[in-house]
Structure 1
Amino acid sequence: MKTLILTNRVPFPPNSGYPIVVYNTIKGLLKLGVDITLFSINPRKYSVDVDDIYDSVFDSIKFHSFNLDTDVNVWGALLNVFSNQSYNVSRYFDEDAGRLLEDILKETEFDIIQFEGLFVVPYLDIVKANSNAKVIYRAHNIEYDVWERLALRERFTPRRTYLEFLARRLKHYETEQINRFDQVFAISEPDRQSILRLGCETAMEVFPVALDFEKYITDPAKTSFPTLFHLGAMDWLPNKEGLEWFLDEIWPDIEKLNSELRFYIAGKNMPREFFEYDSENVVVEGEVFDAVEFINSKSIMIVPLLSGSGMRVKIIEGMAMSKCIIATSMAAEGIKCQHGKDILIANTADEFYRSILQCITNPKKWLEIGRNARKTVERDHDINVISERMLKVYQKLISA
């Protein structure tokens, strides 16, 4: 079976949410004998030097990429206001990239073509004009929902108005495109419900984040206690917003609990303001070389997300590493977890305070939650089980 996967960034190395999801999808399908070609937009913001990729998964696929500057600029944003396109999406389309894709489609007859996320959907017309393959749209999140929720929390009126404008454009585009596919994959049940509300009449399945658990080996001897930590890309606005809220509203009271308590913050594209935060007990590490090793070395994971959609890959990874995770309901959305059993849900400053206090005064509690978390993700996020399900959908589409 020949499959073409389109991505809006190069998923090597798999060091953040989107690349991890795509990478594990490719890895799982390769194990099942699927022949995979990958076409990736390589945005300047997330630029990857393809010559520096050393990975057995990469060596097992046919790979094509196109370098593209997708950065936001004032002039482009202003001109877009007078068009009928979504600025978030249109930045990822380039005619030269389209011609490269067209050449790929002419060289190989594919059975399945999978669009990983909304930002590669502008290439759908080229695919349909040059291939008879079944086309699948995988929604990594509900894009318009992310911007709607950011707008709701924005106090500066002009910025809130513009965020609302972007959200409306995205919603219109998602609604317009969703029924042009043969199959839709949602990443969680809440996202599936949101897609249905968009008017989706296409067949839909839920495929959550998949993990290869051979990579997630815990070593308790290397775990420091008491320690709190947050891990997430800071160029994603919901991560930055949530962390700012935690540091402003919650951390000042938390650090009074124990003079030895440290809060470690890691993630790429860390804003200067976090490095300058006035607290000796906040340790900002920026981008870490090995996320799994970093997670293993700390004890309690903090995820104070206030907006966003989809499924938080870093929570799944933290659960795989048997961590006790304290997160908002928003952050845990879509994950089949239970408060007090395999995660602690906190939506207010007081709830975060009480949960953290409970964990640092009762070490057995956070250890028990961590063990249960590992069992939960093994049940719901195993790469082999999810890949086999996905292949069955492919086979059903082809035989229809």
Structure 2
Amino acid sequence: MKVLILTYRVPFPPNSGYPIVVYNTIKGLLRLDAEITLFSINPYKHRVDTDDIYDPVFENIKFHSYSLDTEVNIWGAIFNIFSNESYNVSRFYDEEAAKLLENILRENEFDVIQFEGLFAVPYLDTVKTFSKAKLIYRAHNIVFDVWERLSLTEKFTPRRRYLQFLARRLKSYETEQINRFHQIFAISEPDRQSILRFGCEINVEVFPVALDFEKYITDPSKVSFPTLFHLGAMDWRPNKEGLEWFLDEIWPDIEKLNSELRFYIAGKNMQQQFFDYDSDNVVVEGEVMDAVEFINSKAIMIVPLLSGSGMRVKIIEGMAMRKCIIATTMAAEGISCEHGRDILIANTPDEFYRAILQCITNPVKWREIGENARKTAERNYNISSIAERMFNIYQQLINV
């Protein structure tokens, strides 16, 4: 089976949510002998030097990429107001990239073409013109929902109104595109329900992030206790907003619980403002070389998201690493987990305080939750079972 996957970022190395989802999708399909061609937009902001990729998965696919400046431009944003396009989406389209894709489609016949995320969809018209393949849209989240939720927490009126404007444009684009495919893959059940409410008339299946559990090896002897940690890309506004809330509203009281308690903060594109929190008890590390090693070395994972959509891949990775995770309902949305069994849910400063207190005074409790989390993750997010189910849907589509 020949599969073309379109992405709006190069999924190598798999070191954050979107790349991990795409990378493991490719890895799982390769194990089933699918022939994979990958076409990636390579944004300047997240640019990957493709000559430096040394990965067995990369070696087993046909790869094409196009470097593109997708950064927000003030004049582009202003002129866009007078158009009918979503500025968030249009920044990922380029005529030269479309021509490169056209050449790939002219030279190859694919059975399935999968669009990974909304920002790959601007190339749908090109694909429809030059290919007869079955088309799948993989919704990594409900994009406009992220911007709507952000606008609700924005206090500066002009910025709030612009966020609302962006959300409306995104919603219009997102809902108009869903019925142009043969199949939709949602990242979670809540997202599936949202897509159906948009008026989706085609089949929607849930395909969450898949993990290769051979990669997630835990070593209890290297875990430092008592420690809390947060790991996430800090140029993603929901992460930044949630961490600020935790540090300002919750951490001052938590810090008093135990003089030896440390809170470690790590992630790509760490904002300068977070280094200002660095102290004896708050350690801001920035980007770490090995996320799995970092997760293994700490005890309790803190995920204080107040907005967002989709599925938090870092929570699934934390579960795979037997971590006790304390997260908001928003952060855990769409993840198979149960409060008190394989995760702790906290939505207010008081709930976070009590959950953290419970964990650091009762080490048996957080270890038990971590063990249950690993079992839950293995049951629901295994790369082999998810890839097989996806491959079966490909076959069904082709045979229709």
- The aligned counterpart of 1:369 is 369
Structure 1 pair 112–278 and aligned structure 2 pair: CA distance change class (3 A): closer
Q: 5 Å matches for 1:9-28?
A: 9-28=9-28
Q: 5 Å matches for 1:6-45?
A: 6-45=6-45
Partner SS, residue 51 of structure 1 = helix
- The aligned counterpart of 1:148 is 148
Cα deviation 1:234-266 (Å, max 9, x = unaligned): 010000000000000000000000000000000
Whichever residue aligns with residue 217 of structure 1, its letter is I
Whichever residue aligns with residue 246 of structure 2, its letter is F
By how many angstroms is 1:206 displaced? 0.3
- The aligned counterpart of 1:131 is 131
Cα deviation 1:218-249 (Å, max 9, x = unaligned): 00000000000000000100000000000000
- The aligned counterpart of 1:389 is 389
- The aligned counterpart of 1:241 is 241
CA separation in 1, counterparts of 2:344 and 2:358?
Answer: 10
CA separation in 1, counterparts of 2:258 and 2:50?
Answer: 46
Cα deviation 1:76-105 (Å, max 9, x = unaligned): 110111100000000000000000000000
1:69 aligns with 2:94: no
Percent identity between the two aligned chains: 79
Contact 2:233 2:267 in 1 (8 A): yes
- The aligned counterpart of 2:317 is 317
- The aligned counterpart of 2:112 is 112
CA separation in 2, counterparts of 1:287 and 1:79?
Answer: 35
- The aligned counterpart of 2:158 is 158
Whichever residue aligns with residue 169 of structure 2, its letter is R
Whichever residue aligns with residue 341 of structure 2, its letter is K
By how many angstroms is 1:280 displaced? 2.2
Partner SS, residue 245 of structure 2 = helix
- The aligned counterpart of 1:57 is 57
- The aligned counterpart of 1:294 is 294
Partner SS, residue 38 of structure 2 = strand
By how many angstroms is 1:69 displaced? 0.3
CA separation in 2, counterparts of 1:322 and 1:5?
Answer: 32
CA separation in 2, counterparts of 1:22 and 1:300?
Answer: 27
- The aligned counterpart of 1:87 is 87
- The aligned counterpart of 1:98 is 98
TM-score, length-scaled by structure 2? 1.00
Partner SS, residue 233 of structure 2 = coil
Whichever residue aligns with residue 308 of structure 1, its letter is G
Partner SS, residue 247 of structure 1 = helix
By how many angstroms is 1:277 displaced? 1.4
CA separation in 2, counterparts of 1:245 and 1:114?
Answer: 37
CA separation in 2, counterparts of 1:360 and 1:101?
Answer: 54
Q: 5 Å matches for 1:342-357?
A: 342-357=342-357
Whichever residue aligns with residue 74 of structure 2, its letter is V
CA separation in 1, counterparts of 2:367 and 2:204?
Answer: 37
| Cα-Cα RMSD | 0.5
By how many angstroms is 1:269 displaced? 0.4
CA separation in 1, counterparts of 2:168 and 2:200?
Answer: 17
CA separation in 1, counterparts of 2:392 and 2:277?
Answer: 50
Partner SS, residue 264 of structure 1 = strand
CA separation in 2, counterparts of 1:287 and 1:185?
Answer: 31
Divergent runs of 4+, >6 A: none
CA separation in 2, counterparts of 1:186 and 1:193?
Answer: 9
By how many angstroms is 1:328 displaced? 0.1
1:204 aligns with 2:207: no
Segments of structure 2 that go 5 or more residues without pairing to the other structure are none
- The aligned counterpart of 2:180 is 180
TM-score, length-scaled by structure 1? 1.00
Whichever residue aligns with residue 331 of structure 1, its letter is A
Aligned pairs, number: 400
Whichever residue aligns with residue 105 of structure 1, its letter is L
CA separation in 1, counterparts of 2:63 and 2:381?
Answer: 26
Whichever residue aligns with residue 54 of structure 2, its letter is Y
By how many angstroms is 1:278 displaced? 5.6
Whichever residue aligns with residue 350 of structure 1, its letter is D
Partner SS, residue 214 of structure 2 = helix
Partner SS, residue 209 of structure 1 = coil
Structure 1 pair 362–200 and aligned structure 2 pair: CA distance change class (3 A): same
Segments of structure 1 that go 5 or more residues without pairing to the other structure are none
By how many angstroms is 1:279 displaced? 3.4
- The aligned counterpart of 1:360 is 360
By how many angstroms is 1:8 displaced? 0.3
Contact 2:278 2:284 in 1 (8 A): no
Partner SS, residue 265 of structure 1 = strand
By how many angstroms is 1:110 displaced? 0.3
CA separation in 2, counterparts of 1:95 and 1:278?
Answer: 45
Whichever residue aligns with residue 277 of structure 1, its letter is Y
Partner SS, residue 14 of structure 2 = coil
Partner SS, residue 326 of structure 1 = strand
Partner SS, residue 213 of structure 1 = coil
